[in-house]
């Protein structure tokens, strides 16, 4: 069977499951007693295993299988979650992630997971320093019959009660088959047959029909009336081959009363409703579980466990690009029609065109919205990263994420991950102080890093704020002087915020400096460059002793930008508005020659004057004959330059198109756009003109 067509779906879904696993493991780590989370994790792992096995990725399947074994013990309260188990499980997740990545990259997803598998197996066997620790927990669980198992209807309940009164045994039996069991339904049937010889099965979960159709995982549970004791029954069932474990608990009048209670009450009373674990298919049990979750941890992912069917579909981003192209054509035609309508002065045509304008405007909005994805696709991986990093740095850090639902264009979201990782690492490594220092300065032991995203105007802001030591002006300056980034004179006259900006200087970021100064600087110039290339901006606010805030400003989308259209000779060019400081007119007398290059005065300082006509070899334009020349002042970081043009056409929203694979890279041109008249205008890349 050709699996290729399913591969991309497999990859997408695997990534979703891995993400969910990571998130739920994190929340489980925060509240290890909450077995409902274990249940969710188990289900994700199980689905992942099934998918991997179907697709033939054996290593992936076998590793998930081992994880499942561990989780299975945990959810059945045979094993208490502990630090080293978390670490091993997280390691397994990492391994799974790299396998999926390998598959994404066209590999076969094979990896040597022997070590992890071995340690997972060791955990299952109970071979670990804390095996003794988990034993009492298991005993306790076995001792206390779990009340909230499942719901019986009134009739069944009264049958059971009556049986107890008549001196029969009422047992709640849970059977788990070995995970390598080949014919689960057959084994289950054998168990039922055996039981029916000595008594009566009142109710089973899942239902008998489901069990017959193998619609259960490896365990099922049932209520049973018999004359035999719980122990006898237990050993009889264990006699059936391929049965892994059997628990059999005798119920008395009182516990039967509790079975009859609504599930919510039962769940609240029993911190570990293991019956829910045993039969996730039972819809009533599932609803009991969701209601238990908010009780335990109100803010924790109710959406994940809620099980509301997803009302979304996955769309290939390429198709959206095609849609965008079609739309931009429509917009271009609209402009032509508008011109025609105003030329012909026909009322009917004008009205139709106006309607068309409104519809296409709405359409544009929708298409733009389709391309928007919430930043949480990027933010999701951060809690895990911060956890690991804080552990390795021996610091305590809380990561508080707000505004994860803020939406950004897919292209921006794809690019923004790496810079944010950098900034977060930076905040953890250099921002938040070691525990001892924090206590010494009267702060709480645990540092807090806020990661926020929010809309403001046509931009999205992402802020990373720590409550650490802040940036030390002296140390930054000292290091900058040593590196030759600034001179002593400059240093003295710099404002604090100018000093902070030094962290982004290229020469500043190299190697060993980082650990001896307050350290902010590991590759921050790269971060800045990346953000700038996205048309964004990054600013630092820092108060010494209080903490630091990196504020990243990003455009909502990369595919449509605001630009200034200019004419050079007969040619039209677009200059991105985000780089333009201002436009103006200069007189020939204002142009000076400094060391062979032209300079012009702009707000008290001299900036280079570049002729776009000369640079682009525009055939029919020569500004040197003009007395007055239009200029566009552009900015890259804090450096300025002026470009000469013949005319300003005006400001416009333009759709960025690439120039095709065939053309070589042209310096100073970043792409093309289609104007209202259908012609292509090239987009000037101002960054190329300022070194």
Q: What is the smallest separation between the CB atom of 616 and other proteins, expressed in angstroms?
A: 4
Residue 617 binding other proteins, by CB under 8 A: yes
Among the listed ranges 43-51, 107-115, 305-313, 614-622, the one in contact with other proteins (CB under 8 A) is 614-622
Nearest to residue 272, comparing CAs of 143, 394, 114, 458?
143
Measured N-to-C along each axis, helices 410-426 and 382-393 cross at an angle, to the nearest 10 degrees, of 10
In the list 39, 119, 328, 557, the residue contacting other proteins (rule: CB under 8 A) is 328
Measured N-to-C along each axis, helices 4-30 and 35-55 cross at an angle, to the nearest 10 degrees, of 160
Catalytic residue list contains 46: yes
Residue 663 binding other proteins, by CB under 8 A: yes
Contact in structure between 562 and 464 (CB atoms under 8 Å): no
Among the listed ranges 61-69, 92-100, 503-511, 613-621, the one in contact with other proteins (CB under 8 A) is 613-621
Nearest to residue 408, comparing CAs of 371, 433, 443, 439?
371
Residues 621 to 650 in contact with other proteins, rule: CB under 8 A: none
Residue 317 binding other proteins, by CB under 8 A: no
Q: Is 131 or 663 the residue whose CB approaches other proteins more closely?
A: 663
Residue 335 binding other proteins, by CB under 8 A: no
**Residues 23, 24, 46, 279: which is the catalytic one?**
46
In the list 273, 536, 672, 686, the residue contacting other proteins (rule: CB under 8 A) is 672
Rounded to 5°, angle at Cα 491 from 488 and 497: 170
Q: Is 309 or 664 the residue whose CB approaches other proteins more closely?
A: 664
Contact in structure between 584 and 633 (CB atoms under 8 Å): yes
Q: Exposed, middle or buried by CB within 10 Å (0-12, 13-18, 19+), for 508?
A: buried
Q: H-helix or E-strand containing 407?
A: strand 407-409
In the list 230, 632, 681, 689, the residue contacting other proteins (rule: CB under 8 A) is 681
Q: What is the smallest separation between the CB atom of 672 and other proteins, expressed in angstroms?
A: 5
Q: Give the list of residues 6+ apart from residue 31 with CB closer than 8 angstroms, or none.
A: 37, 296, 297, 300
Nearest to residue 249, comparing CAs of 266, 230, 275?
230
Q: What is the smallest separation between the CB atom of 691 and other proteins, expressed in angstroms?
A: 18
Write phi, then psi, for 450 (nearest 5 degrees). -95, 130
Distance CA 301, CA 22 (A): 12
**Residues 22, 69, 128, 426: which is the catalytic one?**
426
Distance CA 524, CA 508 (A): 9
Q: What is the smallest separation between the CB atom of 656 and other proteins, expressed in angstroms?
A: 10
How many of the other CB atoms lie within 10 Å of CB of 193? Answer: 10
Cα-based distances in Å from 164 to 160, 169, 236: 6, 6, 22
Nearest to residue 425, comparing CAs of 472, 385, 376?
385
Q: Is 251 or 655 the residue whose CB approaches other proteins more closely?
A: 655
Q: What is the smallest separation between the CB atom of 360 and other proteins, expressed in angstroms?
A: 14
Nearest to residue 12, comparing CAs of 405, 322, 312?
312
For residue 206, cis peptide bond before it (omega within 30 degrees of 0):
yes
In the list 524, 540, 682, 687, the residue contacting other proteins (rule: CB under 8 A) is 682
Beta-bridge mates of residue 82: none
Catalytic residue list contains 68: yes
Q: Is 57 or 616 the residue whose CB approaches other proteins more closely?
A: 616
Residue 339 binding other proteins, by CB under 8 A: no
Alpha carbon 6 to its chain centroid, in Å, reads 23
Residue 678 binding other proteins, by CB under 8 A: yes
Distance CA 639, CA 636 (A): 5
Q: Is 122 or 688 the residue whose CB approaches other proteins more closely?
A: 688
Q: What is the smallest separation between the CB atom of 484 and other proteins, expressed in angstroms?
A: 35
Among the listed ranges 44-52, 77-85, 275-283, 651-659, the one in contact with other proteins (CB under 8 A) is 651-659
Q: Is 150 or 618 the residue whose CB approaches other proteins more closely?
A: 618
Contact in structure between 332 and 674 (CB atoms under 8 Å): yes
In the list 312, 511, 658, 691, the residue contacting other proteins (rule: CB under 8 A) is 658
Q: Is 194 or 674 the residue whose CB approaches other proteins more closely?
A: 674
Among the listed ranges 115-123, 350-358, 534-542, 655-663, the one in contact with other proteins (CB under 8 A) is 655-663
Residue 277 binding other proteins, by CB under 8 A: no
Among the listed ranges 6-14, 122-130, 267-275, 672-680, the one in contact with other proteins (CB under 8 A) is 672-680
Q: What is the smallest separation between the CB atom of 271 and other proteins, expressed in angstroms?
A: 59
Among the listed ranges 34-42, 247-255, 530-538, 659-667, the one in contact with other proteins (CB under 8 A) is 659-667
Residue 616 binding other proteins, by CB under 8 A: yes
In the list 325, 377, 448, 551, the residue contacting other proteins (rule: CB under 8 A) is 325
Distance CA 380, CA 373 (A): 13
Distance CA 274, CA 174 (A): 10
In the list 138, 615, 688, 690, the residue contacting other proteins (rule: CB under 8 A) is 615
Residues 171 to 200 in contact with other proteins, rule: CB under 8 A: none
Residue 315 binding other proteins, by CB under 8 A: no
Measured N-to-C along each axis, helices 184-198 and 230-238 cross at an angle, to the nearest 10 degrees, of 140
Measured N-to-C along each axis, helices 347-370 and 317-344 cross at an angle, to the nearest 10 degrees, of 160
Residues 145 to 164 in contact with other proteins, rule: CB under 8 A: none
Q: What is the smallest separation between the CB atom of 353 and other proteins, expressed in angstroms?
A: 20
Nearest to residue 682, comparing CAs of 610, 586, 617?
617
Residue 661 binding other proteins, by CB under 8 A: yes
Residue 667 binding other proteins, by CB under 8 A: yes
Q: Give, as one character, the DSSP assignment of residue 226.
A: E
Distance CA 31, CA 87 (A): 15
Q: Is 301 or 323 the residue whose CB approaches other proteins more closely?
A: 323
In the list 161, 178, 567, 657, the residue contacting other proteins (rule: CB under 8 A) is 657
Q: What is the smallest separation between the CB atom of 544 and other proteins, expressed in angstroms?
A: 49
In the list 55, 60, 618, 641, the residue contacting other proteins (rule: CB under 8 A) is 618
x/- mask, other proteins, residues 546-575, rule CB under 8 A, reads: -------------------------x----
Contact in structure between 410 and 317 (CB atoms under 8 Å): yes
**Residues 17, 23, 24, 68: which is the catalytic one?**
68
Beta-bridge mates of residue 629: 586
How many residues make contact with other proteins (CB under 8 A)?
29
Alpha carbon 280 to its chain centroid, in Å, reads 27
In the list 329, 351, 437, 626, the residue contacting other proteins (rule: CB under 8 A) is 329
Q: What is the smallest separation between the CB atom of 639 and other proteins, expressed in angstroms?
A: 23
Nearest to residue 137, comparing CAs of 75, 83, 89, 69?
75
- CA torsion sign for 536, 541, 546, 548 is positive
Among the listed ranges 207-215, 470-478, 539-547, 663-671, the one in contact with other proteins (CB under 8 A) is 663-671
Nearest to residue 544, comparing CAs of 468, 434, 479?
468
Residue 490 binding other proteins, by CB under 8 A: no
How many of the other CB atoms lie within 10 Å of CB of 139? Answer: 12
- Dihedral Cα 121, 127, 132, 136, nearest 10 deg: 20
In the list 492, 595, 662, 691, the residue contacting other proteins (rule: CB under 8 A) is 662
Residue 660 binding other proteins, by CB under 8 A: yes
- Indicate which residues carry an active-site annotation: 46, 68, 426
Where does this chain bind other proteins (CB under 8 A)?
Answer: 325-326, 328-329, 332, 571, 615-618, 657-664, 666-669, 672, 674, 678-682
């Amino acid at each position: 069977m050709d699996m290729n067509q399913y591969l991309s779906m497999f990859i997408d879904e695997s990534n979703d499951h891995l993400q969910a696993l990571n998130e739920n493991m994190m929340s489980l780590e925060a509240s290890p007693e909450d077995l409902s989370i274990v249940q969710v994790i188990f289900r994700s792992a199980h689905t992942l295993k099934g998918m991997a096995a179907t697709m033939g990725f054996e290593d992936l399947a076998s590793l998930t299988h081992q994880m499942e074994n561990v989780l299975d013990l945990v959810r059945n309260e045979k094993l208490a979650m502990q630090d080293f188990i978390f670490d091993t499980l997280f390691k397994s997740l990492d391994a799974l992630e790299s396998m999926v990545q390998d598959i994404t990259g066209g590999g076969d997803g094979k990896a040597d997971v022997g070590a992890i598998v071995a340690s997972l197996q060791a955990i299952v066997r109970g071979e670990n320093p804390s095996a003794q620790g988990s034993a009492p927990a298991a005993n306790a669980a076995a001792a206390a019959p779990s009340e909230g198992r499942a719901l019986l209807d009134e009739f069944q309940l009264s049958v059971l009660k009556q049986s107890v009164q008549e001196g029969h045994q009422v047992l709640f039996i849970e059977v788990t088959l070995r995970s390598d069991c080949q014919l689960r339904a057959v084994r289950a049937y054998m168990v039922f047959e055996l039981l029916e010889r000595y008594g009566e099965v009142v109710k089973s979960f899942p239902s008998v029909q489901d069990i017959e159709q193998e619609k259960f995982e490896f365990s099922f549970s049932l209520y049973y009336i018999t004359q035999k004791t719980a122990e006898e029954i237990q050993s009889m069932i264990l006699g059936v081959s391929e049965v892994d474990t059997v628990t059999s608990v005798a119920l008395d009048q009182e516990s039967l009363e509790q079975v009859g209670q609504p599930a919510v009450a039962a769940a609240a009373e029993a911190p570990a409703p293991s019956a829910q674990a045993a039969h996730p298919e039972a819809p009533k049990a599932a609803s009991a579980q969701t209601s238990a979750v908010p009780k335990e941890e109100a803010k924790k992912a109710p959406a994940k466990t809620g099980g509301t069917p997803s009302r979304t579909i996955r769309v290939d981003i390429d198709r959206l690009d095609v849609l965008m192209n079609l739309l931009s054509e429509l917009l271009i035609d609209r402009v032509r029609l508008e011109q025609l309508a105003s030329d012909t002065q026909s009322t009917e045509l004008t009205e139709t065109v106006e309607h068309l304008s409104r519809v296409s405007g709405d359409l544009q909005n929708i298409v733009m919205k389709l391309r928007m994805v919430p930043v949480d696709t990027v933010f999701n991986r951060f809690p895990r990263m911060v956890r690991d990093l804080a552990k390795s740095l021996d610091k305590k850090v809380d990561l508080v994420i707000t505004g994860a639902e803020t939406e950004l264009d897919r292209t921006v979201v794809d690019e923004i991950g790496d810079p944010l990782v950098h900034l977060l690492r930076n905040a953890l490594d250099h921002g938040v102080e070691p525990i001892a220092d924090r206590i010494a300065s009267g702060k709480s032991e645990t540092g807090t890093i806020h990661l926020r995203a929010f809309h403001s105007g046509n931009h999205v802001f992402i802020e990373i704020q720590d409550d650490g030591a802040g940036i030390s002006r002296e140390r930054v300056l000292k290091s900058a002087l040593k590196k030759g980034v600034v001179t002593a004179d400059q240093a003295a006259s710099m404002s604090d915020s100018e000093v902070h900006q030094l962290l982004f200087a290229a020469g500043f970021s190299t190697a060993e400096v980082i650990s001896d100064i307050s350290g902010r600087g590991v590759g921050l110039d790269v971060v800045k460059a990346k953000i700038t290339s996205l048309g964004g901006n990054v600013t630092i606010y820092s108060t010494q002793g209080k903490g630091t805030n990196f504020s990243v400003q990003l455009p909502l989308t990369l595919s449509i930008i605001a630009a200034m259209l200019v004419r050079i000779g007969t040619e039209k060019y677009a200059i991105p508005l985000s780089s333009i400081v201002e436009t103006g007119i200069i007189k020939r007398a204002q142009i000076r020659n400094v060391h062979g290059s032209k300079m012009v005065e702009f707000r008290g300082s001299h900036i280079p004057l570049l002729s776009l006509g000369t640079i682009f070899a525009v055939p029919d334009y020569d500004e040197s004959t003009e007395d007055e020349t239009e200029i566009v002042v552009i900015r890259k970081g804090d450096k300025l330059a002026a470009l000469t043009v013949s005319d300003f056409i005006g400001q416009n929203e333009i759709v960025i198109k690439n120039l095709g694979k065939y053309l070589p890279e042209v310096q100073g041109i970043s792409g093309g756009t289609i104007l209202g008249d259908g012609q292509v205008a090239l987009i000037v890349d101002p960054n190329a003109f300022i070194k």
